[in-house]
Chains A and B, each alone.
Chain A
Amino acid sequence: MVESPSQSQSSGFIWRFCLLQTIPIASAYLFLGMAFGIYMTEAGWHPGWVLTTSMVVYAGSLQFVLVALLASGASFLTVALMTLFINTRHLFYGIGFIEPFRKMGWKYPYMIFALTDETYSLLCSVPVPEGIDRRKVYFRIAVLDHGYWLCGSLAGALLGRAVPIDFAGIEFSMTALFVIIFLNQWKQCRSHLPAVTGLCFGVFFLILLGPDAFLLPTLGATVGLLLVLRQKVVAAESEAARG
């Protein structure tokens, strides 16, 4: 049966679609959020602070580092520099979303705030169904992801180590999600130059600089090379479109 436009545009339909799309992120965020909640409360902070951190900062790896910084009474300068250092990669995420986000009214600032690695990846690849405003999908996905993160954090803070289940390894769902998005984009894109560039620089700098320092040089070099090869990428794309 073909759904009428009014049916497929209905709020419930879009929410269900977004819930399904965010299942991999839900499993990762609930688990990692719980790990964060347990970590911060065991370090001596009230569950209220756990919730505030996940609400206001909303950046996975940074939040774990923050607990260590808080516990050691680090200076504000150290906190600012660590945040810059860990999260600089986020500089690159907004570039593809300027056009859709800026037409979203009051949701515009929230969409920028909520652009985590995982939400960014999903927004890049989500197959918005025919006839649905993709901005509605974007906003619901952002809200759901933030919600998973908050629920996980709160559950971890309140339940602590009382949770009897061993979830070790569930963070692999994030890797699996990235693998799938990578495969889908590989199939969609006519020019594979961007993907190959990112992959090669990633492996190269990982071997050269090690796991803690490779990310920023990789992103910088990738952007640089893509800009240099811009004509070539666009030509390859249009040539493949003609052929």
Chain B
Amino acid sequence: MDKHVYTAFVILLAGGVTIFLRACPFLLFGRRQALPSYVAFLGNYLPPAIMAVLLVYCLKGIRFNSYPYGLAECLSVALVVALHLWKSNSLLSIGAGTGCYMILIRTVFACG
């Protein structure tokens, strides 16, 4: 098969499956007048749970059993938490945390 035709099909296929997954809740429940009560419940209470899971997902690559033991990540996350509890300024917390992480992985915890 021609490379361009193949590429186009692969992109359409991956895009199609992805939007299908994102659309599932809407296809299942989008046309109802009132949502079933368990769906309304999940809509309200699932987001904090999913955020917790995504947080674990972000940090899943840390290896605690070998140097540098995820210290760059842990210290930077601690800085974000502390700054946010202190100042409640999202941009400040994110900027300082990210800067801290970028400096740490280049200096103290530089690999190789």
B-contacting residues of A (Cβ < 8 Å)? Answer: 20, 23-24, 27, 45, 49, 52-53, 56-59, 62, 66, 69-70, 73-74, 76, 79-80, 83-84, 87-88, 90-99, 101-102, 112-113, 115, 117, 120-121, 124, 168-170, 172-183, 185-186, 189, 191-192, 194-199, 201-203, 206, 211, 214-215, 218-219, 222-223, 226-227, 230, 233-234
Contact = CB atoms under 8 A, between A and B. Distances in A.
Contacts of A84: 17, 21
B77 to A, nearest CB: 6
Given A49-B11, A218-B53, 7 more contacts: A58-B15, A66-B14, A84-B17, A92-B46, A198-B53, A223-B46, A234-B41
Given A168-B105, A178-B58, A180-B84, A98 B51 contact: no
A83 B102 contact: no
Contacts of A211: 60-61
A170 B60 contact: no
9 contacts: A62-B14, A80-B17, A90-B22, A94-B24, A176-B98, A183-B85, A185-B51, A197-B49, A202-B53
Interface string B46-88: 1111111111111111000000000001001100110011000
A117 B22 CA distance: 11
Interface of B: 6-15, 17-19, 21-26, 29-30, 35, 38-39, 41-61, 73, 76-77, 80-81, 84-85, 90-91, 93-94, 97-98, 101-102, 105-106
